[in-house]
Amino acid sequence: MSELIWTPTADDEQVAEALTEEAAGLLGGPVQGVWAAPGRVNLIGEHTDYNGGWCLPFALSHRTYVAVRRRDDGRLRIASRQASGQAWEGSVAEVGPATPGGWASYVAGVASVLAERVGAQALGADVLVDGHVPLGAGLSSSAALSCSVALALHDLVPELSGLDRADLASTCVRAENEVAGAATGGMDQSVSLRAVDGHALLIDCRDFSLTPVAWTLPDHDVLVIDTRAHHSLADGQYASRRAACERACSVLGVASLREVDGVDLEEVLGRLADDPEVARRVRHVLTENARVLDLVAALAEREAAEVGRLMGASHDSLRDDYEVSCPELDLAVESAVAGGAVGARMTGGGFGGSAIALVPRGQEEGVAGSVATAFADRGWEAPHFLTATPSAPACRVR
Ligand code: GLA
């Protein structure tokens, strides 16, 4: 069996201390504070956010940290401990779709969107990033970055004090869409900024209103399986799924698929019969919305088996109807269940990244071992594992 790699949570105080010290050297003076924002897993409700539907993510204890000092000259200096030597320096006013490019766009993009409210001059900053959300694992490390920066700028720029966390989340969505060029529907940013510790967050993506849902299965853990697979098609496929949903809306004469939620499914699908692929996409979205609400009910009843069943049904629907899974995610799910998980599914956008498994406490090693063995048997790169606990939202840590 390949060696299992567990990704631990960083200690806030230690990270803040080290980051403050390094920032002072790198940026040539003391920073004003350190902020952190978490990555996420989504328990259920995938590819529903941009359809005005329901989803149920929770914040990870793994977070991205930023040490920040405000500047009064409208300039940005951005560096990361994970990208040593690669820094970006420029003005807020020049930030746009191709500038700065790469990961720095998630920082600069937030400053640039916020600058629409208070002017570019007010949003200058020196920023040193330290990411502890596994990168490229489909755990929203990018939202963790944009959200930590948004909260830092909000706290440091008095003219932004009127913005609440929902405003900051939509700022981050715009920064990711418009500056970083990353398609995202709002789930990740909402949970990173607005999570409730110990709870999952039921998000109604019609208006991004939230209901905290207590985690009622203390004798079960959520095991995250980072498959280490990244299929480069992901971005184009995400866009094509969104486009299919928009086509369905125009055929159905609605602004969002949420408007046909609750209408007889067969009737809706019948109206889409001319395009079986679009009909399958819609079947996923509408059945997934129902599974989210069913899973919330199952959690309230502490029915672990039903939670697991719904996770499995969600995975099947994403694999067969929405077609966003991949062999690595399918194998992770199958081998986790074979190894003793109550249920498992892919989480996030798909085409690689992570799966999650609901595992009776104490059986994590066995489940992880089953997955690791299955991957090794195929000659695939060893997956990484972490246990996910519903954690706190973005905050200032010093
Ligand atoms: C990505 C996006 C989210 C959401 C998921 C799929 O994580 O950033 O907005 O659409 O995919 O549920």
| 288 within ligand 1 shell (Cβ under 6 A) | no
Give me the CATH code for the 215-388 domain, please.
Answer: 3.30.70.890
d(CA 139, CA 188): 9
d(CA 216, CA 206): 26
Segments making up each domain of the chain, as ranges: 5-212+392-396, 215-388
Residue 2 pLDDT exceeds 50:
no
> Which option is the CATH number for 5-212+392-396: 3.40.50.300, 3.30.230.10, 1.10.8.60, 1.10.10.10?
3.30.230.10
Prior bond of 393 cis (ω within 30°): no
pLDDT tens digits along 236-251: 899 999 999 999 999 9
d(CA 193, CA 37): 7
pLDDT tens digits along 290-311: 999 999 999 999 999 999 999 9
pLDDT tens digits along 202-212: 999 999 999 99
User: Could you tell me which of 233, 292, 229 has the C-alpha nearest to residue 46?
Assistant: 292
What is the per-residue DSSP string for 88-102? EEEEGGG-BTTBS-T
Mention every residue, 6+ apart, whose C-beta is less than 8 A from residue 312.
333, 337, 343, 344, 345
Distance in Å, CA 187 to ligand 1 centroid: 6
pLDDT tens digits along 45-54: 999 999 999 9
Q: What percent of the chain has pLDDT over 70?
A: 98
Distance in Å, CA 347 to ligand 1 centroid: 9
Distance in Å, CA 190 to ligand 1 centroid: 11
d(CA 364, CA 350): 23
Residue owning the nearest CA to atom 9 of ligand 1: 185
The Cα angle at residue 41 between residues 216 and 148, in degrees rounded to 5 = 115
| 185 within ligand 1 shell (Cβ under 6 A) | yes
pLDDT tens digits along 57-96: 999 999 999 999 999 999 999 999 998 777 899 999 999 9
Residue owning the nearest CA to atom 2 of ligand 1: 184
The Cα angle at residue 31 between residues 28 and 37, in degrees rounded to 5 = 130
- Tell me the C-alpha to C-alpha distance, in Å, between residue 45 and each of 33, 93, 332: 35, 37, 19
Q: How confident is the model at residue 131 (pLDDT cuts 50, 70, 90)?
A: very high
